[in-house]
Amino acid sequence: MINKTRSIQTYYKGYYFRSRLEARYAVFLDYLGIRWKYETEGYIIEKNEFSESFGHVGEAYLPDFFLPDLHIYLEIKTEGPTLHANFSEDVNRALAFGAYVCQGLPEESDINPAGWIEGGFNNPYADKRYSLLVPFDHGYDWCYCHSQKKIGIEYEGRSDRLIPRDQKTGDRGHTADAPILRQAWRAARTARFEHGQRGMLWK
């Protein structure tokens, strides 16, 4: 018999998050100065070639985060990403914004000096500690553009995609290992939620 670990409801910034991992992502976003809204609006999964095989047709789904500055939804999961691979595709059919699925948190050892995070770029259907799924594609990760002071989610963490076309230098800028992102992941991993599960964010 397999005993599943129950998610720990966690209080942070005025919200009761359904899991500790969701609260840690809120810390991650706060550290980066990215505005977020928690569980703002649900939608009904439509029937399509992806959802039908997973049995989710007609179910209501409430995305975890909406990031208004990046115009995307974030769904946070601890399970392997295969089960949720269709989520980002379904929600992109139903909504005007993109949907991304984040599995787990990367450890410091997952962050490669070459500028990418182990699991973020590889096949998202593999069993990874950390994965980031985007609709109809894989190989994306968080990145930071130094010249524009922008943070985004781009293919292979290429920060040059955040630069206006007429300012590009030819450097793809793999920056998933940027110091500010490393610090944000560290803040998320080490945030303390004791005493009523009220998170503390330290810089």
The per-residue pLDDT for range 135-159, each reduced to its tens digit, is: 667 778 899 998 888 999 888 888 8
Of 82 and 168, which is predicted with more confidence? 168
In this prediction, residue 118 carries a pLDDT of 57
Instruction: Provide the 8-state DSSP code for 109.
Output: G
In this prediction, residue 23 carries a pLDDT of 96
Tell whether the model's pLDDT for residue 188 goes beyond 80.
yes
98-103 vs 72-77, strand pairing mode: parallel
In this prediction, residue 15 carries a pLDDT of 92
How large is the average pLDDT for residues 168-191? Answer: 86
In this prediction, residue 51 carries a pLDDT of 45
Tell whether the model's pLDDT for residue 71 goes beyond 70.
yes
Of 167 and 4, which is predicted with more confidence? 167
Phi, psi of 48 (to 5 degrees): -160, 180
Average pLDDT of the chain, as a whole number: 75
How large is the average pLDDT for residues 31-48? Answer: 81
CA distance 118 to 6: 27
In this prediction, residue 62 carries a pLDDT of 79
CA distance 148 to 159: 9
pTM to 2 decimal places: 0.79
CA 30 to chain CA centroid, Å, is: 13
In this prediction, residue 86 carries a pLDDT of 58
64 in helix, strand or coil?
Answer: coil
CA distance 177 to 181: 6
In this prediction, residue 58 carries a pLDDT of 61
Tell whether the model's pLDDT for residue 108 goes beyond 80.
yes
Count of C-beta atoms within a 10 Å radius of residue 173: 23
Tell whether the model's pLDDT for residue 105 goes beyond 80.
yes
pLDDT band at 99 (very low <50, low <70, confident <90, very high): confident
Tell whether the model's pLDDT for residue 28 goes beyond 90.
yes
Angle (deg, nearest 10), helices 20-31 and 179-190: 150
pLDDT band at 67 (very low <50, low <70, confident <90, very high): very high
